[in-house]
Copies of this chain bind each other. A is one copy, B any other.
């Protein structure tokens, strides 16, 4: 094994997009965003040939450069992607690494008056940018999306919300069954507010921003809950409405219903036609996922069954961490489904 950075067989190109959608976003986050585009080996050989495209989105706190993080004694994700295509493990496809980070940790790939218009950015600006510059087959039927955790959430909901854009999806441990993945965090956040911040999120943020992020044990729950509220239950003026009383944790039913309306499991029935029209749906999760996202995936799968939507669903032996080796499985699945049948673009 050669453990250090290796020269890829394909090519990763770094681009910068100046987003109109994100300009002046409410968090003051940059509207210039990095983007990486992977071109599989041989993709420039025939100038006339065009390829399916696969959009890879990130989990909570992910910035696009963290794809290059090396996990202990394992390949980085770009290395895995390159090896997949270099080995012929999947038909050639263009893979796009998108950045939808926010200073709250993420956007859930939604449009929100509290964070910014990230669904629009992804579906309109990024896709157009890529289709303009790269030899993609610029059609829904040949465009897919995939990710893990919050990225898996985005991969489930973006095709439902924007059926014109994506024609297949793959989700690893995507946020779903919100009562299981978020409510324990709400409880932990409430307790941390009480014990350390006099019940005030303002005081938490003042502290959090004054020191290395996540240097206190409760940072994760507090940031996560607030960020999700910013994505799921923000008001038109950008105010974030929490789905619970921060003094007790008690749910505010009407706000919680707004969250549930964005739970993929509960969204599916309203988008059954779209889901049936997809070229492929791949779901998986580790059976001991820390956020019970194995149950979320199973519930989404069961709902798809009930709606008559064909899909693949797998559990494997893992928690929520250390599962980046699943990415190539999903990318190969999508590349297969999104590649035109022989004889040309179908």
Asked whether any CB of chain B lies closer than 8 Å to the CB of A298, the reply is yes
Interface residues as binary, A315-334 with B (CB distance below 8 Å gives 1, 0 otherwise): 00110001001000000000
- Do the beta carbons of B294 and A191 come within 8 Å of each other? yes
* B292 and A249 contacting across the interface, CB-CB below 8 Å: yes
Given A65-B70, A191-B295: A212 in contact with B249 (beta carbons within 8 A) = no
Known: A1-B103, A4-B64, A190-B295. A74 touches B212 (CB 8 A): yes
A3 pairs with B101, CB closer than 8 A: yes
Residue A30 is within 8 A (CB to CB) of chain B in the complex: yes
A: interface residue count bin: 35 or more
Q: For the complex, is A272 an interface residue (Cβ under 8 Å from B)?
A: no
Give Cα A292–Cα B183 distance, bound, in whole angstroms: 11
Instruction: Say which residue of B1, B61, B294, B325 sits within 8 Å of A73 (CB atoms).
Output: B61
Listed in ascending order, the chain A residues whose CB lies under 8 Å from chain B are: 1-5, 30, 34, 61, 63-66, 68-74, 99, 101, 103, 105, 177, 179-180, 183-184, 186-187, 190-191, 194-195, 212-215, 245, 247-251, 265, 287-288, 292, 294-295, 298-299, 301-302, 317-318, 322, 325
Of A4, A101, A213, A292, most buried by chain B (CB within 10 Å of CB) is: A4
| Contact among B245, B251, B265 with A250 in the assembled complex (CB-CB below 8 Å) | B265
* Contact, CB under 8 Å: A73 / B247: no
| Besides A177-B248, A194-B287, A249-B299, 9 other A-B contacts (C-beta < 8 A) | A72-B105, A73-B214, A177-B250, A180-B183, A183-B184, A191-B288, A194-B298, A247-B298, A248-B302
A-B contact pairs, 10 of them (CB 8 A): A4-B34, A73-B213, A74-B214, A177-B250, A187-B295, A214-B322, A215-B317, A215-B318, A245-B299, A248-B299
Q: Which residues of B contact A5 (CB under 8 A)?
A: 34, 65
A265 partner residues in chain B, CB cutoff 8 A: 250
How would you classify the secondary structure of chain A's contact residues: helix, strand, loop or mixed? loop
Tell me which residues across on chain B come within 8 A of A105, comparing CB atoms: 72-73
On chain B, the residues within 8 Å of A179 by CB distance are 179, 183, 251
Q: What residue in chain B is nearest A99 (Cβ atoms)?
A: B4
- CA–CA, A212 to B75, complex, Å? 9
Closest to A34 in B: B4
A63 — nearest CB in chain B belongs to which residue? Answer: B3
Whether A177 contacts B249 by the Cβ 8 Å rule is yes
Q: From residue A302, how far is it (CB to closest CB) to chain B in Å?
A: 5
Residue among A64, A70, A101, A194 with the most chain B CB within 10 A?
A70
B-side contacts of A295, CB under 8 Å: 187, 190-191, 248-250
Closest to A251 in B: B179
For A184, the chain B residues whose CB sits under 8 A away are 180, 183-184
Q: Are B72 and A69 in contact (CB under 8 A)?
A: no
Measured between alpha carbons, how far is A212 from B73 in the docked complex, in Å?
8
Q: Collect the chain B residues with CB atoms within 8 Å of residue A64's CB.
A: 4
Assembled-state Cα–Cα distance A325/B72 (Å): 20
- Least CB distance from A325 to B in Å reads 4
